[in-house]
Chain A
Amino acid sequence: MKPLYIGLIYVAAAPLLGGLLAGFDRILTARMQRRVGPPILQPFYDLFKLLQKRTIVVNRLQNPYIFCHLVFMIATGFLFFEGSDILLIIFVLSLSAVFFILAAYASNSPYSFIGAERELILIMTYEPMVILSLVGIYMVTGSFNFYEIIGSGKVLIKYLPGVFAGFVYILTMKLRKSPFDLSYSHHVHQELVKGITSDFSGRTLAMIEMAHWYENIFLLGFIYIFVSFNPWIGAAIVAAIYIFEILIDNVFARVKWQYAFRMGWIVAFFLGFSNIVVLYIMGR
């Protein structure tokens, strides 16, 4: 099937998959806490409810920014599954994140302001590891294209164990799970009220939620690259990683941003960079 079609399928299907994933997440969390938990379609009910609310806006610029955030997030996933240059895609992702932060700055309540600052620190923390992972992938397969990487036949995780481990470490940050959900927790956990999303409501919040689902599917796709040698085992590993993240989320408490920042950079250096150096030496 042409990559373009897969990209379009992503645009259409990711909200559904992402919502189901979110529902599954909540049920698993509840069961881990010996509760019953909501029905699996709950995220969709929430989304529709949000769309039907009468949005309260603090600053008129909020909605345009969040709309751009959503559009560029969709674009990131679309370009990824359509097979464009992954390095460029990561930068589109950071563009999307910047729009989100600008929206939070625009509303200017103390909570959303601090949430925005913490989100910036989070971006600064995971950016090196993301770039190092991309570099690692390129060094092993010689390409930045999703289909070429999968089709290269190389078992990436064998060559990039450090990079993979490092990426899973910062995946916690990107999925907005404890202990690194500094700016807004995708769960109910409060974080200085609601962190970066403190001043959004109704439709705006619905757009943020959808963008988060798109991002999750994109990230899972990215992890899949590492274990794509066998589709079934690969999918199973990806699912296992996600469940592992949910476990970590429920076990750990949120850390201070200084700790998260330090650990993010140290992990990027010792796991990611050393992997790159080893690859480089082996490749000579």
Chain B
Amino acid sequence: MNTLLFLVLFPLVPAFLLLIFPFQQFRAWVTRLSVATIIAGSVYAAYQFFFTSATFYSLPAHYIDKGMFVIEALIALFIVYAGIRYKKYLASILAILSFGAMAYFEFTLAHNVHIEQNVFIDRLSVIMTLIIGIIGGLICVYAIGYMKDFHHHHKEMKDKRRFFFFVLFVFLSAMFGIVFSNNIIWLFFFWEITTLASFLLIGYTKTPEAINNSFRAIIMNLLGGLAFALAIVYLAKTGGPLELDKIIAGKGAIAMIPVALLCFAGITKSAQMPFSSWLLGAMVAPTPTSALLHSSTMVKAGVYIVIRLAPVLQNTQVGNMVALVGGITFVSAAFIAVSQSNAKKLLAYSTVSNLGLIIACAGIGSEATVWAGVFLIIFHAIAKSLLFLCVGTIEHKLGSRDIENMDSLIVTMPGLTMMVIIGICGMFIAPFGMLISKWAALKAFITIPSYMSPLMILFIAYGSAVTVFFWTKWMGKITAANRPAEKTHPLQKSISGDEWISELIHALFTVAICFIFPLVSAFLVEPYISEVYGSAAGIGKSNYIIMVIMVALVILLPLIDFFFQRTLKTKQGAAYMAGRNESPNRVFDASLGMKRELSLKNYYLENIFGEKLHMRIGVITATIVILVMIGVSFI
């Protein structure tokens, strides 16, 4: 248990250190060392609990409970104040309501509640710990170099980096708290801290747009928090269990209302429709925020709780509605992503889409879908975080986030482009991770007995068709080598070491996890599923072998052939431009003897896949489904 406590409490140390001292070198070294420690701690925790089933611990709860309540009061006060100051009264109202519910619980019901086992760790927690520790930590290292560049570019912004890193580490601490809490009151406490962290980080630059978007985020997340609090009150009032493991084991016996409310909280936190707009708005924040909170970690807390509840959701109408919300989000967000040329928005919509798929898997709740869902979490966290980090670096070096400006990136920054390619491949290509999960999810959806089966299949069929489109488009743009190769790469050389190391390790992980995922499945995911469901799931040995061979081939073949090419003498020719080429490609003889440079832009299909249209469709259908979900839970 000491490892668990260490992981939750240790990040507070660098948090306060970095809050107090402003020196850049100090900041860099404290971050690097703390992250190394956190990673070591996560790996050690994984190693400790690798082979064991769920382990529970009790902590003397009385003082911790009171302390949490006090901190929650302070947070509520702060939000009320911020809401009034910026005239976003809805935020203040929601904060008061949410805190009011907890206060009601604390003062009237809490003395009836005695929870023995507050802390636990099982294999799903181990997976989440590794993700939070390694990926989250690496993002903090990346932030060192990135924030230095950020303030260098934006001299007009106040340099509040002390505060930024403070919030980052507090956030890591809270995430560890979420995955180790068995007591859902404690879970709620850490949940609210992540909401607050998100609010503070999105509003970092304090521009009007940032402030608006941070309030949008906090209002939607507070709505989810309110649902969470109401679930706690309901459970306490009806004598239901307040421990996560008992809730999950109470399948069939437990009322669905608190489960529906908890799922609602998960839906808001993971930016499902109709609450997706906060994640999109969060893209104004500096890239480490986008990577950490909004792709690999905080939103994973939302899907984490729904996946935890998956056994309870199986074969229930509430579960079906949750899966429907996930499916609608998956398809709508994928459609919108086709029409986006802003790289961060594209990544955001892709994130929302993949989270939708995870929620759909969790809502259906069978062994096979949960297997797929957990793997989606793992693969998505790594690959998406890699992509966000790379896009952040590209934005600083090129001065633009637009994919259309990333033409021929492989010539100017080959190393970085390779990593973007690895990230993109990790998102949609067989045999890389996301595809394995999508494949497993499709197989799982075919076998579910309810009416959800055809619907889910429809969603996956259409949703995954469009993902090929927008990822390949981007990959093509950056790998096209229009300009002659350069000997030195000055732009690339100016990338800071921290950013490089972080991105490189991410890329290595993306590739490595595709090789070792059979082991992860055998040792972590399948045992977890057996534990929770009593039976196992998996995808068959022969398929594992095929996939691993394919990963090897996909990496080796192009490399081998590329080097083989150098020995062959092929004639280098010009591209066909109806005979009017001038210099090596691109420039051609236009009319009146002028020389024009060719520019090619991708298809974005805005009239078919426009953002407005699909957001509206998604929001309306998802709202209806959520209302049905809440209604059905009363039955």
Contact = CB atoms under 8 A, between A and B. Distances in A.
28 contacts: A56-B570, A56-B571, A57-B570, A59-B480, A61-B481, A64-B559, A64-B565, A67-B558, A84-B542, A85-B542, A92-B430, A98-B429, A98-B468, A106-B480, A110-B577, A110-B598, A111-B576, A112-B576, A113-B600, A117-B602, A120-B469, A123-B468, A124-B465, A131-B457, A269-B458, A273-B454, A276-B454, A276-B457
A92 B600 CA distance: 29
B430 A94 contact: yes
A127 interface: yes
A132 B469 CA distance: 19
A189 interface: no
Interface in A196-212: 198-199, 201
Interface stretch (B43-51, B280-288, B470-478): B470-478
Nearest to A60: B565
Given A95-B429, A105-B479, A71 B461 contact: no
Interface string A57-80: 111110111011001100100010
B572 A135 contact: no
Interface in A86-108: 87-88, 91-92, 94-95, 98, 101-102, 104-108
A131 B600 contact: no
Contact of A71 (B477, B480, B557): B557
Contacts of A111: 576
Interface in A40-61: 54-61
Given A67-B561, A87-B443, A55 B600 contact: no
A182 interface: no
Interface string B532-547: 0000000010110011
A277 interface: yes
Given A110-B600, A193-B576, A124 B468 contact: yes
Interface in B446-494: 446, 451, 453-454, 457-458, 460-462, 464-466, 468-469, 472-473, 475-477, 479-482
A88 B461 contact: no
A16 interface: no
A109 B546 contact: no
Contacts of A123: 465, 468-469
B70 interface: no
A102 B461 contact: no
A72 B549 CA distance: 12
A221 interface: no
B468 A120 contact: yes
Contacts of B542: 84-85
A57 B568 CA distance: 11
A116 B453 CA distance: 34
Given A88-B546, A91-B431, A131-B465, 17 more contacts: A54-B571, A55-B570, A57-B571, A61-B479, A64-B565, A84-B543, A87-B443, A94-B430, A95-B431, A102-B475, A105-B476, A106-B480, A121-B603, A131-B461, A135-B446, A273-B454, A273-B458
Contacts of B453: 280
B323 to A, nearest CB: 16
B565 A55 contact: no
Interface in A245-273: 261, 265, 268-269, 273
Contacts, number: 173
B620 interface: no
B23 interface: no
Interface in B568-594: 570-577, 585-586
B302 to A, nearest CB: 28
A127 B468 contact: yes
A105 B482 CA distance: 10
A67 B481 contact: no
Contact of B543 (A85, A131, A269): A85
Contacts of B598: 110
B321 to A, nearest CB: 19
B554 A95 contact: yes
A138 interface: yes
A60 B608 CA distance: 36
Given A64-B558, A68-B557, A95-B429, A128 B465 contact: yes
A277 to B, nearest CB: 5
A109 B585 contact: yes
B598 to A, nearest CB: 6
Looking at B543, B547, B575, which has the most chain A CB atoms within 10 Å of its CB? B575
A139 interface: yes
A64 B561 contact: yes
B605 to A, nearest CB: 8
A71 B555 CA distance: 13
A121 B338 CA distance: 11
Interface string A127-151: 1100110010011000000000000
Contacts of A277: 454
Contact of A87 (B439, B476, B482, B572): B439
A125 B481 CA distance: 28
A88 B551 CA distance: 13
